[in-house]
DNA sequence: ACCATGAGTGAGTGTACAGTCACTCATATG
DNA sequence: CATATGAGTGACTGTACACTCACTCATGGT
């Protein structure tokens, strides 16, 4: 494949996108560079020309993941209908829920968490959560407790999606998944569907 | 090692304990059966006599992990000073925070989450969360929303420990870790130290 | 004393994977 | 045309790992 030649600088982000998909599927250790290469429709030898190591490739994918998460939170701020701190946080939650509906960005974060012991990956993960937390805090103006709860319910959201219990009929699963939107939402309104998706209705 | 002969039935739980430690360190794919064997001070060949496969060994470790989690929640119920649903949930949170102070049981769950795509592991993980959720719900009598928040803050607790930001001085880290106890707590009172460790002070 | 049982191991086997290297060939420019 | 540049690959290497097998030997029963 790759009939048309492109420059390395053009190709790199495409490989990152392929890496996100591949690593999201089977994690850092469970995914081979050949898997990523196949997803990107290039040879694995060329992946190593574009990235120095599997580790750096994963870090690149994770950084790109958080770029998109922060961007998504920004959209949440812009489309907030209720301009109070909690309203903004809620809108951010809605935007985030929409972003991770395809599960790749979500699973990548879960898998990254399981690879923290790799120093570069641990650092990238802390960098990502730092960006998200600071962005949520400064752009919403909410209290630390509200921001903490925002992240806590984000983590719950990751758990529910990982377990695949979004639409289970079992009672325990329904308890955990309550208010967390199904992936098959109507893609229309970014801000409106937010509701209580990531923790509005606690207390 | 293993100078003294023991029966396979006696040895198996020891190997499970070693597996918890080893898998907690580097995850399902990052840990070799030889690592577990070394931790248990036996040969890897014998590990395969005691367990049919690496996968089943991991599942055994995960099941044992949730045995201990549920047992710990039970202690929380028994030592609750405030017998209201929220008081019991809070005491469960304290007991859980104490249990996972050594991080092995916590990291095993994180790593299990990253191995959900292995069918048997995914099933074991769902089984575990089912047990925990149902136990917390029925034994506390709390509302579904309170139970959901309990689990959400448990997940936040996992994140904080995974990132190793328990006692970071950075502001974003302090926001996430607020109220989550340091590992170096005073081991005396199981129930009393609970406080707001896993989500008492939200709202 | 003898043997049956089962605990425990050393030395493999086959395979999969990260990373390398020598190479091909498409394009651009003089 | 000639040749330089860089995109892209096939074939390889060395190593690590899940799992197997043939074996040793300690113990308890008769």
Token pair 């060329």 is found at A46
Domain count, chain B: 1
Subunit contact B148:A175, Cβ cutoff 8 A: yes
Per residue in B116-151, pLDDT (tens digit) is 999 999 999 999 999 999 999 999 999 999 999 999
Domain residue limits at A143: 58-194
Q: Is A48 within the bounds of a domain?
A: no
Confidence band for B99, pLDDT divided at 50, 70 and 90:
very high
pLDDT at B104: 98
C-beta separation of A73 from A95 below 8 A: yes
Per residue in A92-131, pLDDT (tens digit) is 999 999 999 989 999 999 999 999 999 999 999 999 999 9
pLDDT at B180: 86
Q: Which residues of A touch B27 (CB under 8 A)?
A: 29, 114-115, 117
A174-182, long-range: CB within 8 Å, 24+ apart, which pairs?
A174/B144, A175/B133, A175/B137, A175/B144, A175/B147, A175/B148, A176/B129, A176/B133, A176/B148, A176/B151, A178/B144, A178/B145, A178/B148, A180/A97, A180/A156, A181/A97, A181/A101
H helix or E strand, kind and range, residue B161: helix B144-163
- The first and second tokens of residue A139, run together, are 């752009």
Q: Is B28 within the bounds of a domain?
A: no
C-beta separation of B121 from B29 below 8 A: no
Q: Which residues of A touch B89 (CB under 8 A)?
A: none
A6-9, long-range: CB within 8 Å, 24+ apart, which pairs?
A8/A49, A8/A50
- Chain Cα centroid distance, residue B70: 9
pLDDT at residue A195 tops 70: no
Q: Is A65 within the bounds of a domain?
A: yes
Subunit contact A172:B133, Cβ cutoff 8 A: yes
Q: Is B155 within the bounds of a domain?
A: yes
> Which among B114, B115, B178 has the least Cβ separation from residue A148?
B178
Q: Is B174 within the bounds of a domain?
A: yes
Q: Is B131 within the bounds of a domain?
A: yes
Torsion sign across C-alpha atoms A170, A175, A177, A181: positive
Per residue in A151-194, pLDDT (tens digit) is 999 999 999 999 999 989 999 999 999 998 654 443 333 333 33
pLDDT at B142: 98
H helix or E strand, kind and range, residue B18: helix B8-30
Q: Is A29 within the bounds of a domain?
A: no
For residue A161, give the nearest of A199, A109, A95 by alpha carbon: A109
Subunit contact B148:A26, Cβ cutoff 8 A: no
Query: What's the CA B6/C1' C1 distance, rounded, in angstroms?
Result: 26
Q: Is A37 within the bounds of a domain?
A: no
Nearest CA in chain A to B148: A176
**Which of A's residues 50-89 have CB atoms within 7 A of nucleic strand C?**
53-55
């Amino acid at each position: 494949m790759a009939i048309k030649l492109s420059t390395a600088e053009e190709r790199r982000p495409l490989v990152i996108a392929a890496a996100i998909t591949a690593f999201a599927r089977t994690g850092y250790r469970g995914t081979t560079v050949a898997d990523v290469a196949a997803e990107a429709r290039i040879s694995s030898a060329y992946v190593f020309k574009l990235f120095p190591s599997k580790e750096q490739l994963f870090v690149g994918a994770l950084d790109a993941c958080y770029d998109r998460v922060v961007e998504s939170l920004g959209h949440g701020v812009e489309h907030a209908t209720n301009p109070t701190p909690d309203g903004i946080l809620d809108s951010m939650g809605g935007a985030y829920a929409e972003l991770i509906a395809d599960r790749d960005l979500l699973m990548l974060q879960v898998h990254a968490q399981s690879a923290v012991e790799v120093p570069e990956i641990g650092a990238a993960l802390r960098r990502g959560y730092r960006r998200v937390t600071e962005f949520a805090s400064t752009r919403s103006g909410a209290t630390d407790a509200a921001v903490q709860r925002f992240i806590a319910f984000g983590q719950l959201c990751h758990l529910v999606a990982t377990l695949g219990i979004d639409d289970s009929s079992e009672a325990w699963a329904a308890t955990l998944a309550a208010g967390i939107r199904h992936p098959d939402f109507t893609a229309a309104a970014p801000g409106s569907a937010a509701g209580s998706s990531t923790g509005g209705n606690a207390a």
